[in-house]
Chain A
Amino acid sequence: MYFLHKTSKNNPKEFQLRGENALSYDEKNIPPHPPSKPEIPLPLTSDSLREVFAGSGDFLQHTVYVMGREDLKLHLFALDGMVNTANLIQGIMRPLTSNPVLKDTRDFQDLLSRVLHGGVYSFEVKLREKADDAALDLISGSCVLVFDELQRAVTFETKGFDFRGVSEPGGENVLKGSREGFIENIRMNTALLRRRIKSPNLVLEQFVVGRETKTTVAVAYLREFTNADLVQVVRDRVQSMDVDGVLSATVLEEALIEKPRPLFPTLLNTERVNKFCSGLLAGRVGLLVDGLPLGYLLPVGLSQHLKSEEDYGFHPVLGSFLTLMRYACFLISILLPGFFVAVVNFHPEMIPVELTLSLISSRAEVPFPMFLELLTMLLAFEVLLEAGVQLPREIGQAVSIVGGLILGSAAVEARIVSPIVVIVVAMTGVAGFVLPSQDLAGALRIWRLALTILGGVGGLFGLSIGGIALIFKLCGTESYGVPYLYPFVVSGSPKRILESVARLPTQDVKFRDPQLHPQNKRRRK
């Protein structure tokens, strides 16, 4: 298609990107990621900071004469929008010019030590000796006071940017329980954790990940509860990430999950603070990322994805019923279309007589084979689902009207699809909606399509092969050393299985999951 592209030959004035061999890279000859430090090979002076941030419109600079003395000239820098200007003026600039503590300052060295020890009203004061550190502080929302003569700087925490308030989680509904969800600001999220678990045992280890984005990642765990080796592995994996940016969830997820990444989710993400905290209390490790309103829990298996925190808000019998129903819906959602097409096309003798007759009469004038019909409807359902996600909420309703009307009634009335196929696809879809984890539902969508094709091509034989492949795959998956199908495999303990498929009364769940190898095994008296 290159010849269709209007080149600059035709239009010599047109702008063209300069660079050698722009159309493709010779990937083997690109040097590896260069070591990251130091980024600014300059001494820490006001001029070098000006040079680094030259061209940035939000770069604020100010020159201060300490106590009005022209011999004590300092430079103050900040990034507009990142700092709270009122704090900056009241807490930094006012004391610099009028604090009696700074009176009779002899020289810059003396001034520096006075500033570091209460001469300026700021709680978080850091002495910086490298231009890199000072620049990073500046970017994170601190203001920087540069002592040109000493080639040093003092940075004050004056963060003051806006963020979304704590609100109800959008992706997870809550009936009976805390409505607080994580937000994009990691500091607020850690505060939410601290408010739930008021224990010095709660450790929030912070790492900075991403060369350019400098994203804060916090690893949360309970010190005397969680397995120390598990924490070490998570720590190692977070630290070994070397990428330019951590902006989306995938970058972190793929660094944390073993390769090749299984389709079924081996990390649990939740927006709900309560769910996250109960995961920590169970002995899991949690991860928070700045900029993502999500918390990750690991290790998790299939049974954690099928459990909902809501179950613990209801009576054990009701909770158990809901959990069992979710397991049933998991199976329905993955097997129903494949089973249906296999039975109808290959084994009509398995269907009860009356149902056979109604199936035959409902398919009377439909021109397509049932397999094709089912596959088309499944794909149409996926398209509708994706359309509902992508459309803005204001016009999202149009999808349900058009989808429901056209794919539901109109297509049936026009005899393009048979009603039974619509019912099967709808049942499959609704059963998939029951799952609390969207990642799991996504994996099911892919496997469902594969099993439908196998069932349509090979009947129950094909479906069995697909089922065996699925079980084989799941049995081979692990999340940080915990088998994915635990406790249905490995555990050998009916009690563990019962805990997974039912919601036992809380006084009966006395111990933490042994598969997590927690340091503190007992969870209640």
Chain B
Amino acid sequence: MKKFLLFFLPCALLLLSGCGALTLPSSRQIDEWEVADLLAVDFDGEKATFTTIIRADKEEDRSVYQGAGDTFEQALESLQDVCPKRLLLEHLRFVLFGEEVEAQDAARCLEALLRQGDVRLSASVYQTQGKAAPYVEDSTVETLSGIMDEEQAEKKQPAATVVEVLRGSYQGTPAELNVVKERETVEAP
């Protein structure tokens, strides 16, 4: 009993005094997260650019962060660097790829995202005309999903999801993303 207390009490003191974040790196208060909504990925052959929009209750509180790097991983890291709070990419609703991103690159980028956390496999993936960043900067989830819905209604096909894109890359048939590219192209607003 004595030994148990000697072990348990310091642990409890450490945790309850608020040092939990130090001793337990994976535990984080929920208000220390920034919930990302949209992610735009551009790739100009050398540098990858990530643009993300952070959700908030009010329209004017939304914020946009941008990070760039030689690889997707580096771009993701720099995105985290500019964001003052910890990024929570798990709640992403849309991932937009710029026109110049190839199918394999898109799959690799999604893999990089998956490796840093649990991006929802059901998040929609689109390819835009031109750069993807302007779409994210100018729109919100609501307007974007409105546009997308119209597009899909015309084509009578659901949007591609993360898991579909990944599956396409695993099977090694880039044609599948090309299909996505064709059918998911949206007009600039």
Contact = CB atoms under 8 A, between A and B. Distances in A.
B26 A344 contact: no
B176 interface: no
Nearest to B117: A349
A353 B33 contact: no
Contacts of B26: 346, 459
Interface string B18-36: 1011001011111101010
Interface in A358-395: 359-361, 363-364, 366, 368-372, 375
Interface stretch (B44-52, B72-80, B87-95, B153-161): B87-95
Contact of A345 (B27, B88, B90): B27
Interface in A205-239: none
Interface residues of A, number: 23
Contacts of B28: 345, 348
Nearest to A368: B18
A522 to B, nearest CB: 51
B20 A369 contact: yes
A357 interface: yes
A353 B35 contact: yes
Nearest to A361: B57
Contacts of B118: 349
A192 interface: no
A357 B93 CA distance: 14
A396 B47 CA distance: 70
A357 B16 contact: no
Given A345-B27, A345-B30, A459-B27, A360 B35 contact: yes
A456 B21 CA distance: 11
Contacts of A344: 30
A459 B30 CA distance: 13
Contacts of B35: 353, 356-357, 360
20 contacts: A345-B27, A348-B28, A348-B30, A349-B88, A349-B90, A349-B118, A349-B120, A353-B35, A356-B30, A356-B88, A361-B57, A363-B29, A363-B31, A369-B18, A369-B20, A369-B29, A371-B27, A372-B18, A457-B20, A459-B27
Interface of B: 15-16, 18, 20-21, 24, 26-31, 33, 35, 55-57, 88, 90-91, 93, 117-118, 120
Given A346-B26, A357-B57, 20 more contacts: A345-B27, A345-B28, A345-B30, A346-B27, A348-B88, A349-B118, A349-B120, A353-B55, A353-B91, A353-B93, A356-B33, A356-B35, A356-B91, A360-B33, A363-B29, A364-B31, A368-B18, A369-B18, A371-B27, A459-B26
The 10 closest A-B pairs by CB, nearest first: A349-B90, A363-B31, A353-B91, A345-B27, A344-B30, A349-B118, A360-B31, A359-B30, A369-B29, A356-B35
Interface of A: 344-346, 348-349, 353, 356-357, 359-361, 363-364, 366, 368-372, 375, 456-457, 459
